Amino acid sequence: MKRTALLCFPVFLSMVLAGCSSNPYAATNKIYKKQAKAFAKTLRATPVTNPGEDSLMQGDQWVGTTNFNLRKPNFVVIHHTAQNSTEQTLKTFTLARTQVSAHYVIGRDGKVYHMLSDYLRAWHGGAGKWGNNSDLNSSSIGIELDNNGSEPFAEAQINSLLQVLAILKKTHGIPAANFIGHSDIAPSRKVDPNPTFPWKKLAEAGFGMWYDEEKVRNSVFESIIPPYQDSTVVTADSMAIAKDSISAPVTIVPPGVVVEVDTIPLSFQPKDALRIIGYDVKNLDAAIKAFKLHFVQKEVNGILTDDDKKVLYHLYKKSLE
């Protein structure tokens, strides 16, 4: 009997150790549940008072409203991890000293880790601003994509991302224009997701803004129209006008084809357009870089070319709709 018990003990011990090691995050999951329980206790307090509130002239009794719910996320902010593996990021987000987290982490292989309830506030955005919103952490869901910052995003990863975004949009009613990048809300600090991120593909699926590329191609800048002259008469002035007019390539349109030309007015101000779209323009160069990182994805610098301005103009118009 004793020999049998001794033989069985190592088997039992190995089973226990295997059960403990099956989830390396068992300890941090326990901390999660403990913190969630503490928040639940705070919410159950009646009433929840703010510091100094006891100095106010209180009503005769506490009256709790019957009309409330949990926080409603209204933005999705997409990041790349700038780390080398999903496991490294999961570890980062489970160490208290890092002070960073996200609601979702999506690996290169497409595996999704839902790390925090959508109704709780993650620490993913840091100091940032979009429009008049200066606390995106309180109103957004953060999604981290496993990517070292300089590589293309894996197809399986983007497919999983699209599935997550569809669920979030349906569940929380998030507007299409409110799917943005970390660099959009923090242009002076962040450059993620990197220039290979498929923003156009996301926008075509209903997540984020994009522009009508044909309208951009057919846009022209308003200019002073020269007086009518007979085309058969060639003068020095007409030659000068012609020289100025060919500074940019002209598309030859076949006869009978009608092309709608969108004229960009002289009054168009790129800085105001960036601000209206949502960018913080206190550092204009940084705002331009963030805009180009998202919508142009080449020559990411603080200079707006004429083509960049055309893209900006059409996004600005769309944001006003």
Which residues are catalytically annotated?
144
- Dihedral of CA atoms 73, 78, 84, 87 in degrees, nearest 10, equals 20
Q: How far apart are CA 135 and CA 142, in angstroms?
A: 13
Peptide bond into 195 cis (omega under 30): no
Q: How far apart are CA 92 and CA 172, in angstroms?
A: 27
Q: How far apart are CA 251 and CA 259, in angstroms?
A: 10
Residues near 318 by Cβ (< 8 Å), separated by ≥ 6? 209, 211
Show the tokens assigned to 39: 């928040």
Peptide bond into 47 cis (omega under 30): yes
